[in-house]
Chains A and B, each alone.
Chain A
Amino acid sequence: MGDGHYAIHCIGVSDLVRQHEAIFLTQVDRDIQPVRVEDTKLVQDTSPHYRRSRLYLESLLRQMAPTDALLWRGHRAAMQPSPYQLDPASLALSSLRPRILIADAVGLGKTLEAGVLLSELIARGRAERILVVAMKSVLAQFQKELWTRFSIPLMRLDSEGLERIRQHIPAGKNPFHHYRRAIISIDTLKNEREYRHWLEECQWDAVVVDECHNAINPGTGRNRVAELLASRTEALILTSATPHNGKPESFATLMNMLEPTAVANPSSYGPEDIKGLYVRRFRKDVEKQVQGAFKQRDAQLAWADASPEEESVFDALEEARFHTLDRHVRLSRKGRARDVLFRTTLLKALLSSPLAFLETVEQRRKNLRERIASKPEAASDWRKDLETLDQLHALASAIDLPRFSKLRLFLEHTLPALGVRGKPGDPRVVIFSERLVTLELLETVLSNRLGVQRNLDAPGDGTLAVLSGSEKDTDVRAILESFGSKDGKVRVLLASDMASEGINLHYFCSRLVHFDVPWSLIRLEQRNGRIDRYGQSETPHMRFLLTRSQNGRTKADLQVVQKLLKKEEEARNNLGDEGALLGLFDAEREEDFVASTISSGKDLDEEVQALQAERAGAEAEDALSANWLLDLLAHSTETTSTERLTAEPPSLYPSDAAFFREALEHLEPELKDSGQPIQLTWHPQRDEVTFRAPDDLQRRFSSMPPQARPREGRLHLSADPKAVERAITESRDRQGSWPELQYLWSQHPAVEWAADRVSLSFGRLEAPVLVIPSLQERLEVDAVALVEGTLTNRRAQPAVTRWMGLGTKLGKQLEVARIIGLEEVLELAGLRGKVANPGLSAQLLTSLEAARPLWRETTEAEMRRLRSERMASIKGEVRQAEERSSKWAQSRLDAIEEARQRLGAQGTSGLARRRRERLDREEAQVLERKKERHTWIQQTLSTDERAHVKLIAVLVAR
């Protein structure tokens, strides 16, 4: 700045100011002094048994961020984790950047896996700001899971939550700035332009995108949101059970969201390019690990014999020929065109319900009438079709409720066999149909027969509820909470396929009826997965309803459907990935396939073979085939089960509860004196406590969801995961509420608060001195200085943190005789048990003070050694990562160059010029991205050679 003055630009490193940036001007801020280890004041601790020092040391240990890839706390959340559930976190932490796609099959617990990884990131100080983006139907479920099991509070930004928030923050203020940890629906984000603007202003530490396959299609609103978020966060967790839709380009979109330099050419890439970016497991692979978490299902097909009126329609359909209403579909780029006859479409509608049939017929009639009116001269075919439709309409209208055979079967056999009789105490049941008009019919019928009623004003209070996809998110939540709680009023749930992705219905429901059978394996599995999932405690009962006809044609058609159901079972037992069976990966294409098979009159197995042959043929011609990706994704990724995945954080106390207990006892008197008695009550036999939360602790809860807050100012905590799980289960009995009992562990706000409070026991530049007589004989030194050395990267994050004991000989021959590891120090000094406090002489303090500069030098030298050790061990990895991104850039640049050459021939037309400009822009983007990647690698992995040294405590023999 001139004149000997400086502007000092700082980034916060210690907990209180982490990541904050500040500029100090020596001209103005006169008291700037560098913190020097040699100025650390050595102080006495007169507390009994050195309690104050022990708590202080423990709090500093808890602040230490792990810098390896082991799990330090995620596995200790309130859950019973199976080994496979720890793999995603482990893989993400081992990568340069924690970004991963969790592609486990439906119902394996992806939410829990995401929670484990988030907890590890929190422990590393890398998850201050979190955004979870999910489908609106699962927002509440996700939010509750992450709080109750992981103590991670997310503010729910659904329409109700936003209303509440708008009252608290000024209009126009960015809610994402205000709430560091939030959960929101992807559709809310994509619909409002305001949100996009706010998103663009923010950066996150961790973003979770649930069911990310919904955000794959380029150009869609959801995709734009996902891409934007991916570029604004450090850690990215994507989840999806169906990440592959058959097009390798789509999977590449996900891979490039995780790592922009992973796939250079989305139409042509290989397994090496995507390795390490995803995990994928199927039920059959992990079943061994999870005894009893998955129940054997009871699935049955039920046939309803068609009534004479229904048979007339079947007969008429067999004869029906349409001239203008049939469709042609192509299942793949090179596949042959297939016919889907309109009468097959009508068959499907009839198999749902006569009303659905009439609706479809009526739609077409209307359409045809309009056409005939607009062009009467060319209308002869249309007229013929209209006539056919009129006939069918008349026949179908004769099918009234008593003659709707499937409905009778449903009411007279299926429901009673499942135990649903219209009495209070009936088991719950969910009924699926693809047609809304069928759902409406069922609603009316069930209201009359079973006496269940829908409540339009308060959907969660009715005994019947409908999820058709058009409900408000608050209504969806109310319905799910009611259906998912023991005493909730909703007993019968009618659902469409649209509304049901991802939601958990299995808490108190184990009965599912497919009122119509979807012609897609993927849809079948999606439906079944609502009650057949990890954590289902009852045998899931599924019933598939089909109509049986005497008509030969219809019989043959229905055989196809029956075979489809058999295939679904096959897929579950053998393959694990239903989508892979037909290789179409898309529900609509699967339905078209089945429809075209039925239309052609061929056998399903034959057609499946033909389809596979077609694909194989296409692949032989087309070098860029997707077969390898299909194969790859049809198998589980390997798990690293042999290696140790978890670590024990170093601690002076045997458990979080023990630490918390001693901390609260220590704080109790001072809190009482300041007028905030905590009224502490520990359970005599268990690690369970209730107490009154003091004001500063209550303030921490103010930006957390209301249901997480202390009830009437009191907190009730237990360190027993099983007790907490019981509380979670019981809370489902009380609709909508979260358990009052919260999990006592390192990540709970109260434990963090206690640790923060006791970390203030000594000042910033103070270190307690403890007298440990046995040091002399055990280690042959006069004193051990406990120091912490930290190497930071260029983003002020710790890259290497090491606590060590410097065994020192005092006096004339002042020297550090040996360097002792932390564990050894804690053990040998007996700091884990009760330590006698004999008091200290002033003389001793003086001789210790003389050793401070030596301690600093020794620590710095040791850290330099660790730095080069680290460098040697990760050099290869860093180089590999940079080479990979350079290769990516080279490949893109080569392609751009080729395109330029081709353009060169086209001269200087306006179009050619615009294309050249676009190529220039692309080139600039590629270089920019490569630079970003390299910069990120360098800034995150390279360390400054100057270590930060802190003198924590001094243990002295005498």
Chain B
Amino acid sequence: MTRRQASLLPEVALESWAATLRPPARTAVRRFERRAQEVSSADLLAAIAGHLDAVEEAQRSNEFIDLDMARSLAQIARQLTVRLETLPPQRRIVAAAAILYFVKSDDAEDDLSSSVGFDDDAEVLKSALRYLEP
């Protein structure tokens, strides 16, 4: 972690990460500012499981939903949730925001009714992982 990053307030860190995303994702992520700081790991795990269930249900009547992609992303999100406890506040907020974005259905692309529904979630999660790298 660079010295510069270490001194950032969580809100500022979130904003600086959000600025690297595309407009619709960026706007959505900003809205999670408060929740991302308050949500617990347990809540997130539950949300991930719930979202995956919803996707599986939707896939029964819509064969174009990319269930495989959803499952992979859920896996990544779960791993990230486990890491949450080890992160300082200004990085935890970014991770939590990315996971919250995944579990929300009607983000930039509708997860529950589009064949490209998870493209944006993948982008956001990957971007978060990159941000958390060093």
Contacts and interface: CB of A to CB of B under 8 A. Distances in A.
Do the two shown chains form a genuine complex with each other? yes
Interface of A: 794, 867-868, 871, 875, 878-879, 882-883, 886, 890, 893-894, 896-897, 927, 931, 934-935, 937-938, 941-945
Given A893-B23, A942-B62, A875 B116 contact: no
A896 B26 CA distance: 14
B22 A868 contact: no
B60 interface: yes
Contacts of B110: 931, 934
A879 B116 contact: yes
A785 to B, nearest CB: 27
A927 B61 CA distance: 24
| 6 pairs of A and B residues whose beta carbons are closest in the complex | A942-B62, A871-B63, A882-B116, A879-B115, A897-B23, A934-B114
Contact of B119 (A878, A886, A934): A886
A882 B61 contact: no
A890 B109 CA distance: 11
A945 B113 contact: no
B64 interface: yes
A938 B63 contact: no
23 contacts: A868-B63, A871-B63, A871-B64, A875-B64, A878-B115, A882-B116, A883-B119, A886-B116, A886-B119, A890-B22, A893-B23, A893-B24, A927-B24, A931-B110, A934-B109, A934-B113, A937-B115, A938-B114, A942-B62, A942-B64, A943-B63, A945-B61, A945-B63
A883 B113 contact: no
A415 B98 CA distance: 83
Contacts of A868: 63
A931 B111 CA distance: 12
Contacts of A882: 114-116
Contacts of A944: 61
B121 to A, nearest CB: 13
Contact of B113 (A890, A927, A938): A938
Contact of B116 (A871, A883, A894, A897): A883
Interface residues on B, range: 10 to 19
B10 to A, nearest CB: 25
Contacts of B116: 879, 882-883, 886
Given A935-B113, A943-B63, 12 more contacts: A867-B63, A871-B63, A875-B64, A879-B115, A883-B119, A886-B109, A893-B24, A927-B24, A934-B109, A934-B110, A941-B64, A942-B63
A48 B66 CA distance: 55
Contacts of A941: 64
A891 to B, nearest CB: 11
Given A893-B23, A931-B110, A934-B110, A945 B60 contact: yes
Interface in B89-134: 109-110, 113-116, 119
Main SS at interface, chain B: loop
Contact of B61 (A879, A934, A937, A942): A942
Q: Most B CB atoms within 10 A — which of A794, A879, A883, A942? A: A942
Nearest to B60: A945
Contacts of B113: 934-935, 938
A893 B109 CA distance: 14
B67 to A, nearest CB: 12
Interface in B59-103: 60-64
Contacts of A943: 63
Contacts of A938: 62, 64, 113-114
A875 B59 CA distance: 13
Q: Most A CB atoms within 10 A — which of B22, B62, B115, B119? A: B115
Contacts of B119: 883, 886
B60 to A, nearest CB: 6
B115 A875 contact: yes
A559 B116 CA distance: 62
A868 B62 CA distance: 11
A941 B110 CA distance: 16
Contacts of B22: 890, 893-894
Nearest to A893: B23
B81 to A, nearest CB: 28
A890 B110 CA distance: 14
A944 B62 CA distance: 7
Interface in B1-23: 22-23
A941 B113 CA distance: 11
Nearest to A868: B63
A438 B16 CA distance: 74
Q: Most B CB atoms within 10 A — which of A882, A894, A896, A927? A: A882
A886 B24 CA distance: 11
A893 B22 CA distance: 9
B103 to A, nearest CB: 20
Q: Most A CB atoms within 10 A — which of B60, B109, B116? A: B116
A882 B116 CA distance: 7
A36 B63 CA distance: 25
Contacts of B63: 867-868, 871, 942-943, 945
Contacts of B24: 893, 927
B12 to A, nearest CB: 19
Nearest to B113: A938
Nearest to A886: B116
Contacts of A934: 109-110, 113-114
Contacts of B109: 886, 934
A942 B58 CA distance: 11
Contacts of A931: 110
B124 to A, nearest CB: 14
Contacts of B62: 938, 942
A941 B114 CA distance: 11
A945 B62 CA distance: 8
Contacts of B115: 875, 878-879, 882, 937
A339 B62 CA distance: 64
A244 to B, nearest CB: 33
Nearest to B63: A871
Q: Most A CB atoms within 10 A — which of B22, B23, B64, B110? A: B64
Contacts of A867: 63
A945 B60 CA distance: 7
